A and B are shown apart, each in its own frame.
Chain A
């Protein structure tokens, strides 16, 4: 079993839809959770960074962490064609010099 599981998609939605992207994990020591967006032929771009359980909102993006279920989500409101990309979740046990463990990424396609 992988430490981090993420549905590879693709997930296809119409413009304006609410998108839900999810990851599950098995290591209960993970406390720091990140979401990255990666456009084709580009490096991953950090979108959201959260600690422990709860919600964090930034513009159209909301990150949600449920540590009891070992489940994290990224919601995108009013999705735009420019949101079409691969979304990777990543997590770490500490903020220190621990390596990040990544999901395989979910490819999102937003059609006009």
Chain B
């Protein structure tokens, strides 16, 4: 299966600031996805990162809040902008459908 490196693994940020999360895959993959996992809740898809074009966002998520880049077939970033305590969550990068849908270890974000 693909090996995903996600950075940072955790961070504590001040409200109103932004954090960029990086996702690096050890092989080229077709699709890269960004999920959010809030305590006690299921994983929620934020957006699909498309190589060479704008990301496709799910209902309830907007580009101004969660800008995404995907410059090539092995790398993507998710930025959480103008953070509030409600953004405190685990953010996960996922790739697929090669090797099934594989996840990174996540970024645990706390906004204070």
Report A's interface with B, CB cutoff 8 A: 4, 6, 8, 34, 36, 41-46, 49, 88, 90, 95-97, 99-100, 102-105
Contact = CB atoms under 8 A, between A and B. Distances in A.
A104 B92 contact: no
Interface of B: 1, 4, 6, 30-31, 33, 40-43, 45, 48, 58, 92, 97, 100-106, 108
Contacts of A4: 42
Contacts of B41: 104
B1 to A, nearest CB: 7
Contacts of B58: 99
Contacts of B106: 41-43
Query: Interface SS of chain A: helix, strand, loop or mixed?
Result: loop
A44 B42 contact: no
Given A96-B97, A97-B31, A99-B33, A8 B105 contact: no
Nearest to B1: A46
B42 A43 contact: no
B43 A45 contact: no
Nearest to A41: B108
A8 B12 CA distance: 28
Q: Which of A43, A45, A100 has the most CB of B within 10 A?
A: A43
In order of increasing CB-CB distance, the 4 nearest A-B pairs are A43-B103, A102-B42, A102-B43, A43-B105
Q: Which of A4, A45, A97, A103 has the most CB of B within 10 A?
A: A97
Q: Which of A34, A100, A104 has the most CB of B within 10 A?
A: A100
Given A8-B40, A104-B42, A42 B100 contact: no
